Structures are given as structure tokens and as C-alpha cells.
Amino acid sequence: MKLLLLLLFISVNVAAQNATNLMRQSQDRTSAGNSEMQSTISIHDNKGNVRVREITTLTRKTKENSQLLIRFTAPAEVRGTTLLVYDYPDKADQQWIYLPATGKVRQIVSNEKGKNFMGSEFTNADMSQLNLDDYTFTNLGRTEYNGTGCIKIEAKGKTPALQNEQGYSKKIILLDAARLIPLREELYDRNDKLHRELLYENYKSTGDGKWVAWKMTMNNVQNGRRSTMTVNRFESNAAQPEQLFAPNALGKK
């Protein structure tokens, strides 16, 4: 009996490690280094109305963290609004937002991470990478999605506080089994009911082993709304000035 329990413990532990390793590889393959892209966000409500936003996104990698800057360029009512994200490998991310209407930079606190990002179905938390050490990953086996063989992985925040902060109890992630890139995510609310689903489409290789999804759609299955982010232009290995990624520089032109 003891041997059986030991073998069961080892097999469960190995499965968890494998799932974590798969997620680490996936994150590496979809994490751009220094890059610049221009995108369109289309925000659809449940009555068929659509609002369109244009954004420019810059990314920069340092020894300490990965940095992401999203600046709204159109329409006029949101132009200049800027989000800055610092993702760290060993601690919680940091986010700041600049709103032209106030002329001030404000740090986004942890209980705001689960809130909608600029009226879309994406959240502030969706703008950050998963800190893999904060999650427990489980390999749920093989499945098929749109004719593609996939690995199904469950991701759960290790603490209730993290789950509350992120706004969901767990994610179910479908990774393309060959390329180890995400094709679909299901996000479940704190009552374990499906809340949102994220679809990744039109992947393109950057030529250096990285992949970028040129279309991402977030469907809110509970309220019938959806938001689509479509990449119009992408440039990898784009040199990014360090000073652009300072919180106190967000409101400067």
C-alpha cells in the first residue's frame, strides 16, 4: 500500500511538473522581446453596437523584468491614454495608467486587476503575463480543437487572494501540441462558472522562434459582449528607448 501511494504521489508530481514546463515553454514562445505593433480593438456590446480603438504597443525586456506599454492613439476621446506594465519573474506585476483627462499617472492596485480594460472584455490582469510560480498547473490530457491536436492544461491560482485579484478561479488552456502556443482559454468565475473565453487566431512567426497571434477575441459568455484585438503591423527586434517605460514619463509626448 505504501509503495502504491508513493508511486501515485510521484506520478501526480511529475504530471504537475510537466504541465508547468509546458506552460513555461509556451510563454517563452509567445513572449516578444523588444517589439512594436499597431492594433485595433473592436468592442461589441450585446445589442450589436461597436466601438473601435487604435493602440500602439511597445515591449522591452530587461534583466529584471519584461515591460509593456500600450498607448491609445484613436479616437480623440481616448487618445493619449497609456498603460505601463512591469512583469517580474519572481514577484507580482506592477501597472500604471495615465489618463489625459486628469493629467496624472496612477498605479493600478491589486483589487483593480480583474476590472475591464478601457471598457473592453479584456481585463487589466489580461495585459500581464502569468507569473507561473503563482499557479498550479495540471495536464488534463490530449484533445482536439478545430482539427488541431492540443494539450489541455488547467491553471489555478495558488491562493484565494490571487484568484480574487485576477477575477477568475481557474483557466483551461488549449495548447497546440506541436508548437506549444495557446489556441483557446476558458476563464471561470469565482463560482466555477464559465465567464469568458479567449480565442487566439492567425499566428505568425517572427522568424526567431517566437509566435504572435494577430487576432485575439475575448467572448464574455455571461453578458454576450466580445472584444477583438487585431494586429495591423508588427516589428520585432525594435529598439525601444528606456525612458519611454518610466511611470513618470507616461504623460509626456
**pLDDT at position 85 over 80:** yes
pLDDT tens for residues 230-242? 999 999 988 889 9
As a whole number of angstroms, the distance between CA 8 and CA 67 comes to 41
Tell me the average pLDDT across 183-208. Answer: 96
| DSSP-derived secondary structure for 164-187 | HHHT-SEEEEEEETTT--EEEEEE
pLDDT of residue 4: 43
**pLDDT at position 12 over 80:** no
Contact 71, 55 (CB under 8 A): yes
pLDDT of residue 208: 82
- Beta strands 104-108; 135-145: pairing state: unpaired
As a whole number of angstroms, the distance between CA 234 and CA 92 comes to 28
3-state secondary structure 42-106: EEECCCCCEEEEEEEEEEEECCCCEEEEEEEEECCCCCCCEEEEEECCCCCCEEEEEECCCCEEE
Tell me the average pLDDT across 196-221. Answer: 96
Structural domains counted in the chain: 1
pLDDT tens for residues 55-65? 999 999 999 99
Domain, as residue range, for 116: 2-249
Q: What DSSP character marks residue 199? A: E
**pLDDT at position 15 over 90:** no
Grade residue 11 by pLDDT with cuts at 50, 70 and 90.
very low
Q: Which CATH number goes with the domain that contains 112?
A: 2.50.20.10
Cα dihedral 222/140/28/244 (nearest 10)? 20
pTM: 0.90
Tell me the average pLDDT across 129-134. Answer: 92
pLDDT tens for residues 157-187? 999 999 998 999 999 999 999 999 999 999 9
